[in-house]
Structure 1
Amino acid sequence: MAQSELLASFIGEAAEVLGELGGGVARLRALGPGQPQLAAEHMAQLSILAHRLRGSSALYGYAQLSALASLMERLLDARPALSGEAHETFMTLLTRVTETLGAGVAALQAGGNDHTLGLDFARSGGAALLQGLVREVPQAFELRSPRFHHTAHAPEAEETGSAEAPQAGAAAASLGELLGQFVRENAEVWEYFAPEVHEHVASLREQLARGEEADLNVMFRAAHTIKGSAYMVGLPSLGDFAHRMEDLLGAAREGAISLNTDVTRVIEEATDTIGDFLGVGSGEERVSDFGARVEGVTSRLRAALTGEAPVPAALAPTGGAVDPAQGAGERAVIPAATATSIRVPAVRLEALLEQVGELVSARSRITRLLTQLSELQLSMATSQERFGRTVRDFEERYLNPDMVQGETGAVQPSAQMGLDLSQQFAELEFDTYNDLNILSRSITELSADFSEVRRRLSDTVSELGEENDQLGKLVRRLRLDVNQTSRVAFSQATARLRRWARERQETFTLTVEGDDLLVESGILQRIGDPLMHLLTNAVYHGLSSREGRLQAGKSERGNVWIRASEQGNFLEIVVADDGQGLDFSRIRERALERGLRSAQELERMSGDELGRLVLLPGFSTAREVGQVAGRGVGLDVVATAIRQLGGELLISSERGVGTVFTLRVPTTQRIMDVLHIDLGGGHTAALPVGAIRTLRDLPLAELRRAPEGDWVAFEGQRVPVVDARPIWGVSAEEGLGGEMHLAFLSSIAGLMAVRVSDFGIIEEVTVTPPSALLAPLDYLSGMALSGTGRVLPILDPAGLGRLSHRPEAWLGAGEQGATLAVRRLLLVDDSLSVRRLVGKMLTRGGYEVVTANDGQEAFDLIQGGAEFDGVVTDLEMPRMNGYELISAVRAWPRTARLPMLVMTTRAGDKHQRLAFQLGADDYFSKPVNEALLLRRLGALLDAAERAAHLAPGAPDHPSAGARA
């Protein structure tokens, strides 16, 4: 029954389409050959009708009917501009096709089939008409490229051949504008059309990535659907392009052509071009020559189908207005346009609706329980009123007897009866009740009432608690499922990278893993540019030249891997290459030249710490500034974008082996489970539960002290300990006791332990990003409102780790200022401007500064008895240079341990080595960074004071003796 109803529906729809086709062919004949543009528009409309009949016929299994409708569709898609006898023959052919289709539908309506439809068409002379037309004007039935559907006089230009080139250029140049105009005028259509095409493009890319195992049926259906959808919404340019792609895939599916490397490359290029149709239309990409590019890809599709010599692909990158490689060095990240809609499977929507229904039911049950509680409250009020009345009566009789007075002259009932009531009760053997018995009975009854109310209240509260737990589970499940609806495949972010890699496939090979991983669309849009920067960095910085790779025993072509995975509540993306690795010596040199770190700090840094320096703004190891390297923009942009997402970027490199960049961002930042932590002093914060490995209470004796920071042993490894309490101004010694509370957290840099005063409850909260005022505090990942209405700061484990390496960021300056105010420095430089500039820096830092214009003057001051806490000296000076001054000061026992810092324009290794050999404590490059200078000075002077406390009587202590 259901099948017959469906068939009847199909026949009715087919008859309606055929009626429109017949009328359209008649109107097309009436137009004649004198109005080519209007005729082309009519043929475009008729092509859509033929396409609809073709698809529905194939769906219901009528192959002959579908094939004949496909023939008509292709005839109309060619938009032939004919005249004279050829035009009349073409119109006759369209009429024969329409009549044969009508006869086929009539046969189906009578209970027959379409098995002889092709034969009927041949017998009607249709096949002979078609063959004659193709022999006479073969060029007229080649599928037209998109430009001819948007240019007013393109057919005439093609016939004459004289005006085609300029008009084609104008049309090609305007294709992007036409797409943009379509999107603006059809915003509602674009809202559902674009995501649908995105899905089919992703399907095509997924199959292409499978290589020889690609399913051509899936690819053909994807191209076919894109073509039909484009025609239906009114985008014939995209429909024509997808049609040409469909033809090629159909030929490959039927075995007419082999799916070799060249054909696959053309299909990949066509897939990218369809994606660009969407990008250009929505304004996410700007391609000035997009029409010409579509022309070129269309010609290559045609050449691959016919076996002709293909038109060579453009050498310039095609994926946007700016080459991503150039963009890595010249521009900042342009945020991707926010998606207006996301396609959600109907099954998932149904599941969400079911969960909403369960929530409605749960709310009804909770409402019923609240009604029961209201009734219990009324019962309690009634019982309380009875109890109060009973107590009040007893009080009036015995506690306040003067208040009870009988009426004057009232006759007592016992007197009327002639004997005492008690005597009467005794004769009748009745129990006697005095006021105490009545009070006792009332209290007993009230107690029973209270017990019943308490039992009912206990049952209701217990049931309400169960319902609340169930509601919590429902809300959590709904939250997770709703979060899934906003997720899209990771392949949407890698499509652009694959195209960029294909254009440079002679240089390297890109391997992507995890394309099918679902990622929240908002996150995916914001990591596209960072991934492009990392890929560019890997190719232009990481991979060495062919000669260098061959000398290192590697293949000529480099390799870059991108792997995406979900680790707990975090998205982890790894970008790795097998290149030369980071040049740590060059990083040290550049950091010293730019005054980012002192020589002593750089020497103590590990490889990973040095690697993180390349993330600083403007930092680059390139020798020369070019289009793709040397400006120091790319990696800074990456680090900033990842931190804005609440994530972290980790760099690991081995010289000669390669470099690995690891991006880790939370999968969702809206709702999460957090653990309340007490920081002492009434301060409360929270940690993400997803980052917590375990909670431990360890004896204080297990805490180990080290110059690089505190640590504890955990599972066979040294885990750094970060005390979160000083961030809020709480003393680290407050509430120590005999044990410490540690939360072991997993961060991108490894395991770490956060020390707190106590642990609290776990709560599900809604997290909002920090405000502009709090944004610089990178140890905050967000703010939340707890169930008690209290604002809850959410701590970021990675930020806490960074903060632990620079405790001066949270320590109060009052104590430091008091200490620095009494310190006296000797500044030695032959330049007056340097002495004034650096002297002001040191004065602002709270130091007392004495200057000397060369090494000799400085040494005379020291020999004359002047006492200093430290010396900052240049190297190149008259009379006595800096090296000689260091040697002289170190040779004198009284000043042998005096802290000495070198500040010079000479940043070479040989200059540094000699200074350190002579006894310099640190080495800076001019122009010096004020914050760096003050930080290193403070650390060196503090270390000198600690050494003095260990041996306060030592004669060579720098502060020994009287100050001048």
Structure 2
Amino acid sequence: MQEHVDALNEQLDAEQPDIAVMFRASHTIKGSSYMVGLQPLGDFAHRMEDLLGAVRDGAQVLDGPVLETLERSTELLGQMMAVASGQDLAITPAANLLSTRLRLLAQGRSWQSILDAEQVIPVERRSVPIAGAAAAPERTTVRVDTRQLDELMEQIGGLVVARARVAQAIERLEGLQSALDASQERFQRTVRDFEERYLNPDMVSLGNEAEAQTPVAGADLEQQFDELEFDTYNDLNILARSITELSADFSEVRSRFAGALGELQEENEELAKLTRRLRQEVSRTSRVPFSQATTRLRRWARERRDRFDLHFSGEETEIENAILQRLGEPLLHLLTNAVNHGLGDMEARVASGKPARGNVWIRVNEVGSFLEVSVQDDGRGLNMEAIRTKALERGLRSAQELDQMPDQDIARLILLPGLTTMREVNAEAGRGVGMDVVATIVRQLGGDLLIRSEPGQGTTFTLRIPTTQRIADLLLARVGTNTVSFAVNSIRTLREVNFEELRPAEGGYELFFEGRWLPVVDLRRIWGIEEESQTWRFAILAALTGDIAVRVDEFGTIEEVAISPLGTLLGQLEYLSGTTISPSGEPLPILDPAGLSRLARRREAWLQGASRRQERLSNRSHVLLVDDSLSVRRLVSRMLERGGYEVSTANDGQEALDMIQLGNDYDLVISDLEMPRMNGYELLSAIRGRPASASLPLVVMTTRAGEKHQRLAFQLGANDYFSKPVDEALLLRRLNSILASETA
């Protein structure tokens, strides 16, 4: 852009400046600035462009004041470019003044009217303080690398962990003080008993009147002293008095220890408050407006302005810079998805009564401790049937699973890698990776993605991300011998109810809360705890899809901890949002409300009792695999054997039927459709036609994923339907579910 600034200076130095050359230079600077995200520089160049356009159109005269303003503005452009490259220059006051002058001159205002307007600026806005009035403190700024802020937040995370360890040490000291109090009480009781027995023995025998007689006159002096109970100061007497003094000293030490511990507790509380304020201030320092992420999206949209209009709201919302940097890629993927999938063809839009050009809205809002970013289009909505078909064709789900899935779960299948409904691949879409990238980044940020779609109305993707990524307040809870945690900002309330207050639901229970029944996720069942109790404890968690009740055994304390992001392995567990280490060094999983909500809708896949799992391990099921392909038989056999099954194979349907008729005991049959001698449909009909094998579970595994093939298979009595190549985890999960339902 420097050459265009030089071009402006060259024309301003000429006797007859070429307005067209100057206009093109300012226009190029404006566009280039917007392209690289330098919006203030682009806005200022836009002001210059407006003034030059006014001069070109005759609305303004290129006289001395206008030339002077353009000269100062060109000089300021160079300074703004220097600031963008890292130099520290104070240019804001001059930029504000010149920007206002450029705007007013472009409107055709006279130079004198502009000067008059500047003279009547309210006193509170003037940069020079009025005599006799207190000058406002000057505010200065410094440029700080965001990496330094990130490192500072990491150190604050370490400070939080260290303070938690101090708090735990104080708890141990409190326990020591309790033991000290108990020891002192026992010590004082022993001293009192000792004094009564050895120092004041007459107090124990006050009823002995003979010893209370008056001493006889003329008796021996020492004998009279004994009778008058004077102290004799023997060894036992000296020891008793020493013990009494030690008891008093012990009490004094305990009192001073209690005072010091109280002061330490107060200091720790002040340290906790200071740490929290420091965390909040550093977090606020690293916040930037969301508008910094929109430049790239606007540029992408301008290149496709013939197809749609892009609208923004909430751009002024400030979020952590680290979060904003991670959001750029998923937002571009969502925008690409909206244009290539959501809006639909222009002809189809017109045919449905919509404008040919579509609309996409990006809305940003901060709700509590979460940032919500939604991308909405006014297109045709998701094609649920096409998603079902593609999921089956790619072997991502079985036909039976897809039939049982609600639309909200079907919609989430587009987040799986490799799934796309586009028939043709282009440079922007069709590879099935964009939405997978979105889901991965959102989960790495500890957030969730909600998909809402209305047929013929459009689709909305909502990203819900915690505004604090590194440090959070967690509620600890116990499940059996395990400790889990929930983010405090996701907890609606804690409840303890009797079992009778629950109502049975499909695969589990529901809890009544605030006028509606909430699905229950029983963490005890996930951990395989079978024994039950009459009292159930719940944490009511808020998720984008609605509240959910999560059962635990008991609640613990609230801890401020540093959060670690999920790795590649743990990132596959959708019910985890992160991990942390407790002050005692125990690893803690942080449970994600949205993931647990999806667990509640797929109970049969996750909430299986430990006894049933143990039963399947102890009694290996026998599976008959029927396929005319040797490579398929070998590959799938290894999958089944790794899953704990005993496997027999057959080359075609006729051989399989012969093996069944010979009386071999099989628990389940997996069959291809296209085979010589007897195809899969014929084998299925033969098995269902024999009383001895009519109830034998049979699943189809084929390359044919068409609806008519599925319909015929289910009409003949198939238990499930898979598409090749089959996913190993999917196959084993569905076989386990089918066999479990047969033995239940």
Relative to structure 1, the CA distance from residue 909 to residue 257 in structure 2 (aligned partners, 3 Å threshold; closer, same or farther) is farther
| Contact 1:78-1:141 at 8 Å conserved across structures | no
Relative to structure 1, the CA distance from residue 247 to residue 842 in structure 2 (aligned partners, 3 Å threshold; closer, same or farther) is same
Asked whether 1:701 is paired with 2:475, we answer no
CA distance in 2, matches of 1:789, 1:881: 60
CA distance in 2, matches of 1:77, 1:491: 35
Match of 2:523 among 724, 727, 730: 724
Q: Secondary structure at the match of 1:575?
A: strand
Q: Secondary structure at the match of 1:750?
A: coil
Match of 2:514 among 715, 729, 733: 715
Which amino acid is the alignment partner of residue 723 of structure 1?
D
Question: What's the TM-score once normalised by structure 1's chain length?
Answer: 0.56
Asked whether 1:664 is paired with 2:515, we answer no
1:447 deviates by 6.8
Relative to structure 1, the CA distance from residue 515 to residue 341 in structure 2 (aligned partners, 3 Å threshold; closer, same or farther) is farther
Relative to structure 1, the CA distance from residue 536 to residue 811 in structure 2 (aligned partners, 3 Å threshold; closer, same or farther) is farther
CA distance in 1, matches of 2:40, 2:240: 80
Which amino acid is the alignment partner of residue 230 of structure 1?
M
Asked whether 1:522 is paired with 2:372, we answer no
Give matches, 1:16-165, under 5 Å: 78=11, 80=13, 134=15, 137-139=16-18, 143=22
1:742 deviates by 1.3
1:605 deviates by 1.0
1:523 deviates by 0.5
Name the structure 2 match of 1:756: 552
1:604 deviates by 1.0
Structure 2 residue runs without a partner (length 5+): 47-69, 110-144, 154-166, 168-173, 201-218
1:441 deviates by 8.1
Q: Secondary structure at the match of 1:894?
A: coil
| Contact 2:195-2:240 at 8 Å conserved across structures | no
Name the structure 1 match of 2:639: 841
Cα deviation, 1:69-108, whole Å, max 9, x if unaligned, reads xxxxx9966475xxxxxxxxxxxxxxxxxxxxxxxxxxxx
1:828 deviates by 2.8
Cα deviation, 1:401-449, whole Å, max 9, x if unaligned, reads xxxxxxxxxxxxxxxxx983687999xxx99555599999888877777
Relative to structure 1, the CA distance from residue 145 to residue 708 in structure 2 (aligned partners, 3 Å threshold; closer, same or farther) is same
State, as a whole percentage, how many aligned pairs show the same letter.
50
Which amino acid is the alignment partner of residue 737 of structure 2?
A
CA distance in 2, matches of 1:223, 1:562: 34
Match of 2:394 among 576, 589, 594: 594
| Contact 2:474-2:561 at 8 Å conserved across structures | yes
Name the structure 1 match of 2:614: 815
Name the structure 1 match of 2:431: 631
Match of 1:482 among 275, 282, 288: 282
1:521 deviates by 0.5
Q: Select the structure of larger CA radius of gyration.
A: 1
Match of 2:476 among 673, 676, 700: 676
Relative to structure 1, the CA distance from residue 779 to residue 438 in structure 2 (aligned partners, 3 Å threshold; closer, same or farther) is same
| Contact 2:199-2:240 at 8 Å conserved across structures | no
Which amino acid is the alignment partner of residue 720 of structure 1?
P
| Contact 1:744-1:751 at 8 Å conserved across structures | yes
1:454 deviates by 5.8
1:575 deviates by 1.0
| Contact 1:509-1:560 at 8 Å conserved across structures | yes
CA distance in 1, matches of 2:562, 2:348: 52
Which amino acid is the alignment partner of residue 358 of structure 2?
G
Which amino acid is the alignment partner of residue 870 of structure 1?
L
Give matches, 1:65-464, under 5 Å: 78=11, 80=13, 134=15, 137-139=16-18, 143=22, 227=77, 229-230=79-80, 250-256=101-107, 339-340=146-147, 420=221, 432-433=230-231, 435=233, 461-462=261-262, 464=264
| Contact 1:491-1:516 at 8 Å conserved across structures | yes
Which amino acid is the alignment partner of residue 846 of structure 1?
G
CA distance in 2, matches of 1:621, 1:244: 50
1:881 deviates by 2.9
CA distance in 2, matches of 1:421, 1:201: 112
Asked whether 1:609 is paired with 2:409, we answer yes
1:249 deviates by 7.6
Cα deviation, 1:502-526, whole Å, max 9, x if unaligned, reads 3323321222111111101000000
1:484 deviates by 0.7
Relative to structure 1, the CA distance from residue 252 to residue 904 in structure 2 (aligned partners, 3 Å threshold; closer, same or farther) is same
1:534 deviates by 0.3
Q: CA RMSD in A?
A: 5.0
Which amino acid is the alignment partner of residue 105 of structure 2?
E
Asked whether 1:906 is paired with 2:707, we answer no
Question: Per chain length, whose mean CA-contact separation is higher, i.e. which structure has more relative contact order (CA < 8 Å, sep 6+)?
Answer: 2
Cα deviation, 1:741-782, whole Å, max 9, x if unaligned, reads 211111233322222221111121222234666555554433
1:867 deviates by 3.5
1:928 deviates by 2.4
1:248 deviates by 9.2
Relative to structure 1, the CA distance from residue 547 to residue 849 in structure 2 (aligned partners, 3 Å threshold; closer, same or farther) is same
Which amino acid is the alignment partner of residue 693 of structure 1?
R
Q: Secondary structure at the match of 1:762?
A: strand
CA distance in 2, matches of 1:647, 1:446: 62
Name the structure 2 match of 1:621: 421
Aligned residue pairs total 625
Name the structure 1 match of 2:738: 940
Name the structure 1 match of 2:313: 513
Which amino acid is the alignment partner of residue 680 of structure 2?
G
Asked whether 1:796 is paired with 2:592, we answer yes
Structure 1 residue runs without a partner (length 5+): 1-39, 48-73, 81-132, 148-167, 177-193, 206-219, 259-337, 344-351, 353-365, 367-372, 400-417, 947-964
Give matches, 1:489-504, under 5 Å: 489-504=289-304
Asked whether 1:733 is paired with 2:536, we answer no
Which amino acid is the alignment partner of residue 742 of structure 2?
A
Relative to structure 1, the CA distance from residue 452 to residue 226 in structure 2 (aligned partners, 3 Å threshold; closer, same or farther) is farther
| Contact 1:620-1:632 at 8 Å conserved across structures | yes
Relative to structure 1, the CA distance from residue 831 to residue 801 in structure 2 (aligned partners, 3 Å threshold; closer, same or farther) is same
1:602 deviates by 0.8
Higher strand residue share: 2
CA distance in 1, matches of 2:97, 2:225: 115
Asked whether 1:892 is paired with 2:690, we answer yes
CA distance in 1, matches of 2:682, 2:419: 34
1:483 deviates by 1.1
CA distance in 2, matches of 1:610, 1:540: 20
Which amino acid is the alignment partner of residue 764 of structure 1?
E
| Contact 1:741-1:758 at 8 Å conserved across structures | yes
Relative to structure 1, the CA distance from residue 698 to residue 624 in structure 2 (aligned partners, 3 Å threshold; closer, same or farther) is same
1:465 deviates by 3.7
**Quick check: 453-462 or 633-642, which moved more?**
453-462
1:710 deviates by 4.0
Which amino acid is the alignment partner of residue 488 of structure 2?
V
| Contact 2:149-2:282 at 8 Å conserved across structures | no
Which amino acid is the alignment partner of residue 485 of structure 1?
T
CA distance in 1, matches of 2:105, 2:25: 26
Relative to structure 1, the CA distance from residue 252 to residue 853 in structure 2 (aligned partners, 3 Å threshold; closer, same or farther) is same
| Contact 2:628-2:652 at 8 Å conserved across structures | yes
Q: Secondary structure at the match of 1:747?
A: coil
Cα deviation, 1:848-899, whole Å, max 9, x if unaligned, reads 3333333344334434434322222222334433223323322333332221
CA distance in 2, matches of 1:820, 1:793: 33
1:450 deviates by 6.5
Relative to structure 1, the CA distance from residue 834 to residue 460 in structure 2 (aligned partners, 3 Å threshold; closer, same or farther) is closer
| Contact 1:820-1:846 at 8 Å conserved across structures | no
| Contact 1:489-1:516 at 8 Å conserved across structures | yes
Cα deviation, 1:434-475, whole Å, max 9, x if unaligned, reads 559999988887777766666666555545544443442233
| Contact 1:674-1:764 at 8 Å conserved across structures | yes
Relative to structure 1, the CA distance from residue 773 to residue 880 in structure 2 (aligned partners, 3 Å threshold; closer, same or farther) is closer
Higher helix residue share: 1
Which amino acid is the alignment partner of residue 690 of structure 1?
N
CA distance in 1, matches of 2:430, 2:81: 47
CA distance in 1, matches of 2:267, 2:340: 60
CA distance in 2, matches of 1:845, 1:475: 50
